[in-house]
Amino acid sequence: MGIWQQAILSGLSLGSFYTLLGLGFSLIFGVTRAFNLAHGDFILLAGYLAFALWHFWHLPFSWILILCMVSLPVAMLALRELLHRLPEPFELNSLVVTFGLAIVLQNLFLGLFSADYRLLLLPTTVVLDLPACSLMMTANQAMLLLGSLAATAAVYLFLYRTFAGKALRATIQNREGAALAGIRVDQMQLLAFGLGGVLIGLAGPLMAVNMYLHPAGGLEPTLIAIILTIAAGVGRTGSLLWVGWLLGAAESLTALAVGSSWRELVSALVLLLILVGRPQAGAKHDIAS
């Protein structure tokens, strides 16, 4: 039984990280209604930035996290300015532009870091033994789990306990109604892109210490973010966490049962099942948790 419990624990850690991936995507999609197909590539950008800061400047990981969380909002605000200038039909043009941007970023990574797989190696490889439940967790896994949960909790408290967060939720739910109520929709867009950039800046370094980076690695995070947003609903933090845990556990159990090569197939099947079973899921913008 222990090996299955270990797989579930790994799945919960992975699922918490998936929630972090989905949060930034969901917030930005909520205020723009644009599917950012370069979302995963921006996470890779943060990951490669973290790797460069560690490899070339030998900065401690705490400083790397801070620098990435400060730098990525700048990139996301630049993306906001790009999307803001797109003509109608906005949704279609945003798909084309972000798809092209993803290709540009992939080639940038390829030119700067080659096609080699990169991993940010922290100086410690401590294994945390949990004798009460006969489980073990590496320090990197614990950091992935706790960092993702802390970020999710912080976003939840911001959205539901602050005036700015409530205004952002109102904008996500109904932009026209929010504008009539006196909410500055343009400021809420800046807030969503900035907050999404902070989440991406956190996700990139966490990804770099737990998973190998490679230029084409942005596709999977983008797919995960889209799946979670469609399944949970836009801006629904609690639902995103539950869906992330379920998807992470399903992937870990599948990898244990039939091999890791089948893990990615689970995500694609989940997306197909959601689209077949809930064809209107992507059209719902309710933000109740």
One-letter amino acid at 143 equals: M
- pLDDT of 284 > 50? The answer is no
Q: State pLDDT tens for residues 156-202.
A: 999 999 999 999 999 998 888 999 999 999 999 999 999 999 999 99
d(CA 247, CA 40): 17
**pLDDT band, residue 3 (cuts 50/70/90):** confident
Residue 187 has what pLDDT? Answer: 94
**pLDDT band, residue 124 (cuts 50/70/90):** low
Residue 133 phi, psi dihedral angles, 5° rounding? -125, 15
Fold adopted by 2-283:
ABC transporter involved in vitamin B12 uptake, BtuC (1.10.3470)
Domain extent listing, the chain: 2-283
172 close to 235: Cβ distance less than 8 angstroms: yes
Percent share of the chain, pLDDT over 90: 62
* Cα dist from 214 to 72, 111, 195, 217, 281, whole Å: 19, 12, 25, 5, 32
